[in-house]
Amino acid sequence: MNVKVLFRKDLKELIVSKKMLILLGVFVFFALSGPLSAKFEPELMKAYSSKLGPGSIINVPAPVYTDAYKDTFNNLKQAGIIVVILLVCSTIVDEKRNGTAAFLLTKGLSRSSFLLSKIASRVLIFTLACGAASFVCILYTFIIFGEFSIPNLYLAFLLYWIYGVFIICVSILVSVLARTFTQAFFAGFVAYFVISLLNMVPYLNRYLPGRLNTIMSDILSEKTLPDHWTIPLGITLLLSILSVLLSQRIFKEQEL
Amino acid sequence: MSYILETGQLCKKFGAFTAVNNITVKVPALSVYGILGANGAGKTTTLKMLCGLSRPTSGSIRIDGEELQFGKTHDSRLGFVPDVPQYYKWMKPRELMLFVGNLHHKQGPSLTSRIDELLHKVGLEGCNQKIGSLSRGMKQRLGIAQALISEPTILVLDEPTSALDPIGRSEVMDLIRSLAGELTVLLSSHNLHDVEEICDRILMMDQGRVIADDSLLSIKSQFALNTLELQTEDMYLLQSAASLLSGHSEVLEVEILEDKQSLSISVVNLRAAQIYIPSMMSSAGIPLSLFKVTEPTLEQFFLKMVTAR
């Protein structure tokens, strides 16, 4: 069966439903607001301290260009990922409830192809959003600060992309399991909460996907890469693949 | 007779509830086969199993001699239209048809002409609206058109007229009627009139079981009502005829149908009654303006079968 046809349809649907525009808009907004807030936050703080009255002193260090990346990544890691969950967790459950999944699957399309097309289209728009955000963030940081280069900056963006792909795969799994959009939405956030919570467990957190966020922060603080940083990376990729396989397995057994 | 679709002891349970109970059916090729039953009789579950959308608890399904497995559909051989077809609202009918055609590896001028032909057939050739703004009847007709793109051998329609107004219903019924002889049509309905109008073979279901599976003609002949209808010129003559017939030993029941100004007569032997009743009327000097055997309706048969269970 022609998976390419379905993939093209899924992409077009993401454009028509404005999901792609929303994701791009949010990511580019964060990429612009990061350098801006890094530049002007100290001045705002100074202005605020002068209003506190005599004797009130707030010491704010002078902004540096790495702060722009830190602010951008902080927004992308939290609000950006929440937007991704919101946009992805309804993917399968919507098609099941609308009856469009049954419509497609009676055309001889395999359930695996159906699922893979959904994942691939979501990963593609996430990649575009990440690419646009990276470009805008680097360019705007350079315009504002006159500097932009950090060792391993590309790696920070890559790690964020891998973390985002992992979140997409988990959201798809949740969407396969859920029966309603509310269930999917709720379960998606529970999954995100659990992933974030596990990152606080000592020792174990060194090997989990949440560790990628810490590595990103280290890169942006120009610290050296931690030892064995590839282990959480490998585990995240493995968990992403397992999520896809599990989604596939469950979806194959589901009645529509 | 060749059978395009066969089920053997097909069964579907949801926990302790049996939705479909040991259904064995043979659908002849090129027939218009109606699955009839009240809501909850198991019609939709049966169709979903036939389309590979629901896994049978036990039993087998064969399409064109080939065993159907859950999760695998017979790509181009089976076209399915659900009761309330839902397609991508942002697409236009032609766009949907093109998408479905491409899914079936069809493209180029042959696909374009097939789309033109089908949209013309369902009366949507000039429709440039988005699917989201189409009426239910138009969506149902579009559903049939998209299901025919792959030139299937079986068209499965789940309650095709249930959500339609009289005009939409009439259009869809005409469309289904026009497909008879071109391919096998399998449709489910709780509307006895629809089934009676277009199906040449009927499967009646009640509480997941088959209560009848035969041709419409055979079902009707099996269920002879032994009822006749008689009309005279006026009510006075009708009452005289009623009292005359009430005394006959072979007449079981006489009822005056005031709205039709006629008599409904139940008799022991239909053939004999066709001879002695006109003779009695003639002797009594009662002229008949109408005398006919009342044809049993599918509704009467269905109610009798369900009540008997």
Q: Could B86 and A256 be called an inter-chain contact, meaning their C-beta atoms sit closer than 8 Å?
A: no
pLDDT band at B53 (very low <50, low <70, confident <90, very high): confident
| Partners of residue A249 in chain B, C-beta under 8 Å | none
| Partners of residue B80 in chain A, C-beta under 8 Å | 102-103, 106
Pairwise CA distance, residues B261 & A210, whole Å = 85
Q: Which residue in B53, B78, B80 is closest to A255 by CB distance?
A: B53
Q: Could B80 and A106 be called an inter-chain contact, meaning their C-beta atoms sit closer than 8 Å?
A: yes
B63-91 exposure pattern, b = at least 16 Cβ within 10 A, e = fewer:
bbeeebeebebbbbbbbbbbbebbbbeeb
Under DSSP, is residue B179 helix (H, G, I), strand (E, B) or coil?
Answer: helix
Q: Between these two residues, A150 and A1, which has the higher pLDDT value?
A: A150
Last residue of a domain, one of B165, B189, B221: B221
Same domain, B150 and B273: no
Q: What pLDDT does residue B243 have?
A: 92
Domains of chain B: total: 2
| Within-domain flag for B26 | yes
Pairwise CA distance, residues A173 & B271, whole Å = 69
Q: Which residue in B53, B88, B150 is closest to A256 by CB distance?
A: B53
| Within-domain flag for B304 | no
Average pLDDT, chain B: 86
Query: In CATH, what number is assigned to the domain containing residue B74?
Result: 3.40.50.300
| Within-domain flag for B307 | no
Q: How is chain A split into domains, by residue range?
A: 3-253
Same domain, B46 and B184: yes
| Within-domain flag for B300 | no
Q: What pLDDT does residue B76 have?
A: 65
**How is residue A24 written in tokens?**
């791009």
CB B225 within 8 A of CB B66: no
Question: Could you give the ipTM of this predicted complex?
Answer: 0.85
pLDDT tops 60 at residue B63:
yes
| CA B281 vs CA A231, B226, B250, B253, B291: distances in Å | 102, 19, 15, 17, 11
Q: What pLDDT does residue A150 have?
A: 77
Same domain, B96 and B172: yes
Pairwise CA distance, residues A104 & B81, whole Å = 11
| Partners of residue B159 in chain A, C-beta under 8 Å | none
Last residue of a domain, one of B206, B221, B236: B221
Pairwise CA distance, residues A188 & B150, whole Å = 38
- What are A99-138's pLDDT values in tens digits? 889 888 888 788 899 999 999 999 999 999 999 999 999 9
- What are A47-72's pLDDT values in tens digits? 777 676 666 666 777 788 888 888 99
Average pLDDT, chain A: 89
Cβ of residue B53 closer than 8 Å to a chain A Cβ: yes
Q: Could B85 and A6 be called an inter-chain contact, meaning their C-beta atoms sit closer than 8 Å?
A: no
Whole-number percent of chain B with pLDDT over 70: 92
Same domain, B202 and B233: no
Q: Could B55 and A255 be called an inter-chain contact, meaning their C-beta atoms sit closer than 8 Å?
A: yes
Q: What pLDDT does residue A123 have?
A: 96
Determine the residue type at B72: K
Same domain, B172 and B272: no
Question: From the CA of B147, how many Å to the nearest CA of chain A?
Answer: 9
Same domain, B141 and B162: yes
Q: What is the average pLDDT across B274-283?
A: 92
Same domain, B264 and B167: no
Query: In CATH, what number is assigned to the domain containing residue B247?
Result: 3.30.70.100
B151-185 exposure pattern, b = at least 16 Cβ within 10 A, e = fewer:
ebbbbbbbbbbbebeeebbebbbebbeebeeebbb
Q: Could A107 and B88 be called an inter-chain contact, meaning their C-beta atoms sit closer than 8 Å?
A: no
- What are B260-269's pLDDT values in tens digits? 788 888 888 8
Minimal CA–CA distance to A129: which of A75, A181, A170, A176?
Answer: A75
Q: Which residue in A2, A102, A252 is closest to B105 by CB distance?
A: A2
**How is residue B74 written in tokens?**
């017979």
Last residue of a domain, one of B221, B248, B265: B221
Q: What pLDDT does residue B293 have?
A: 85
Q: What pLDDT does residue B224 have?
A: 62
| Partners of residue A2 in chain B, C-beta under 8 Å | 102-103, 105
Q: Could A104 and B103 be called an inter-chain contact, meaning their C-beta atoms sit closer than 8 Å?
A: yes
Under DSSP, is residue B185 helix (H, G, I), strand (E, B) or coil?
Answer: strand
Q: Where are the beta strands (DSSP E) in A67-177?
A: none
pLDDT band at B297 (very low <50, low <70, confident <90, very high): low
Whole-number percent of chain A with pLDDT over 70: 95
pLDDT band at A199 (very low <50, low <70, confident <90, very high): confident
pLDDT band at B107 (very low <50, low <70, confident <90, very high): confident
Same domain, B197 and B281: no
Cβ of residue A16 closer than 8 Å to a chain B Cβ: yes
Q: Could B99 and A5 be called an inter-chain contact, meaning their C-beta atoms sit closer than 8 Å?
A: yes
Same domain, B192 and B273: no
Same domain, B154 and B34: yes
Beta strands B32-37; B154-158: pairing state? unpaired
Q: Could B75 and A1 be called an inter-chain contact, meaning their C-beta atoms sit closer than 8 Å?
A: yes
Cβ of residue A20 closer than 8 Å to a chain B Cβ: no
Q: Could B88 and A100 be called an inter-chain contact, meaning their C-beta atoms sit closer than 8 Å?
A: yes
- Picking from B102, B139, B150, B186 by the largest number of A CB atoms within 10 A of its own CB, the best residue to mutate is B102
Same domain, B196 and B92: yes
Cβ of residue A17 closer than 8 Å to a chain B Cβ: yes
- Picking from B13, B91, B103 by the largest number of A CB atoms within 10 A of its own CB, the best residue to mutate is B103
Q: Between these two residues, A108 and B246, which has the higher pLDDT value?
A: B246
Q: What pLDDT does residue B216 have?
A: 77
Cβ of residue A107 closer than 8 Å to a chain B Cβ: yes
| Within-domain flag for B302 | no
| Within-domain flag for B298 | no
Which residues 23-52 in chain A show a CB within 8 A of chain B? none
| Partners of residue A111 in chain B, C-beta under 8 Å | 71
Cβ of residue A169 closer than 8 Å to a chain B Cβ: no
Q: Could A107 and B100 be called an inter-chain contact, meaning their C-beta atoms sit closer than 8 Å?
A: yes
Minimal CA–CA distance to A172: which of A248, A111, A238?
Answer: A248
Count interface pairs A-B at CB distance under 8 A. Answer: 69
- What are B177-231's pLDDT values in tens digits? 888 888 999 998 887 778 888 888 888 888 889 888 888 777 776 666 678 899 9
pLDDT band at B296 (very low <50, low <70, confident <90, very high): low
Residue of B nearest to A4 (CA): B103
Whole-number percent of chain A with pLDDT over 90: 54
A161-181 exposure pattern, b = at least 16 Cβ within 10 A, e = fewer:
bbbbbbbbbbbbbbbbbbeee
Domain hosting residue B212, numbered range: 3-221
CB B198 within 8 A of CB B176: yes
Q: Which residue in A1, A16, A111 is closest to B103 by CB distance?
A: A1
Same domain, B132 and B158: yes
Residue of B nearest to A255 (CA): B54
| Within-domain flag for B303 | no
